[in-house]
Structure 1
Amino acid sequence: MARTNLDDAGGGGQPDIAAAGGVVVRRDDDRRTRIAVIHRPKYMDWSLPKGKLEKGEDWREAALREVTEETGFRCEATVELPPVSYTDRKARTKLVRYWLMEPVKGKFKPHGEVDELRWLTRREAEDLLSYDHDRKLVRKALRVRRLRRIRGALPGPDWRWSV
């Protein structure tokens, strides 16, 4: 069953901001795994695509919508990753739930919110990402992806990270 509100977000207390996003991963012609990293001119940072939930929106739906809005790619969300909590620049608490995603179709076009998208190797992404929590999440996502390929299966919909 999809989680639809902050009461079952997996953390204690209510965050000031609820957001969802994706670690978007693809394999290039050179068979190297690449991660989508976006540049947001408003914040002058490099991050993973994410955004706030809209009223009544499911977390997974929000993640897919935000990734499409920010990257131009429609994606398949495969596995939910560990949630990330942090305090933003305005001292607000923020909870972000992420999914490992693979692009299905689309093309990036720069826009006001995101002016650049780069497909980077893990090391390149870790060097460029502005926030430590994004770097850690990329490492976790790629471990999950490797395990998924090795085992040839995905965990069921009720599977959760133990925190």
Structure 2
Amino acid sequence: MSGTTVRAAGCVLWRRTEPSGELEICLVHRPRYDDWSHPKGKLKRGETAIDAALREVLEETGHHCVPGARLPTVRYLANGRPKEVTYWVAEATDGAFVPGDEVDRILWLPLDAARTHLTQPRDRALLAGVCPGGPS
């Protein structure tokens, strides 16, 4: 890999449904790429990874969240440049989704359905940090 590494951060966002308490994972649809992924985005100058992750969740899903365990950092090439994304498991608290240019839809899906619906295998691998009984 060559070039400056693009640093980004995001969250595997989860909630419990009412009244069953079933675990659901939030996926975002990005029309630019026509893909389904976890909310994430590039760090702004001087921003910490956790601050970027929480900002991106709010910007892309409209939800505030409480971060939990840090997940493995994901590294891959994006447009020929190395990219490094730091993730956390995060519980959604309050908020409401408003479609925008960057993210036009979100889905809340049970864990197995979310795993199947994600476009990239690297995003599916992050769900190993979330077990059926709740985040680990």
TM-score (norm 1): 0.77
Pick the structure with more strand per residue: 2
Pick the structure with more helix per residue: 1
Partner amino acid, structure 2, of 1:124: A
Counterpart in 1 of 2:27?
37
Counterpart in 2 of 1:8?
none
TM-score (norm 2): 0.91
What is the alpha-carbon distance in structure 2 between the residues aligned to residue 79 and residue 28 of structure 1? Answer: 21
> Which contiguous aligned blocks of 4+ residues in structure 1 show a shift greater than 3 angstroms?
143-148
What is the alpha-carbon distance in structure 2 between the residues aligned to residue 53 and residue 67 of structure 1? Answer: 13
Counterpart in 2 of 1:87?
77
Post-superposition CA distance 1:106-160 (Å, at most 9, x none): 001111100000000111111111000000101x221397474xxxxxxxxxxxx
The one of 104, 108, 113 aligned to 2:102: 113
1:19 aligns with 2:8: yes
Post-superposition CA distance 1:20-70 (Å, at most 9, x none): 000001110222110000100011100000000000001100100011000
Distance 1:124 1:61, change over 3 A: same
Q: Is the 8 A contact 1:46 1:128 kept in 2?
A: yes
User: In angstroms, what is the RMSD of aligned CA positions?
Assistant: 1.9
Counterpart in 2 of 1:9?
none
Unaligned runs of 5+ in 2: none
Matched residue SS, 1:130: coil
Partner amino acid, structure 2, of 1:40: R
- Matched length: 134
What is the alpha-carbon distance in structure 2 between the residues aligned to residue 119 and residue 64 of structure 1? Answer: 18
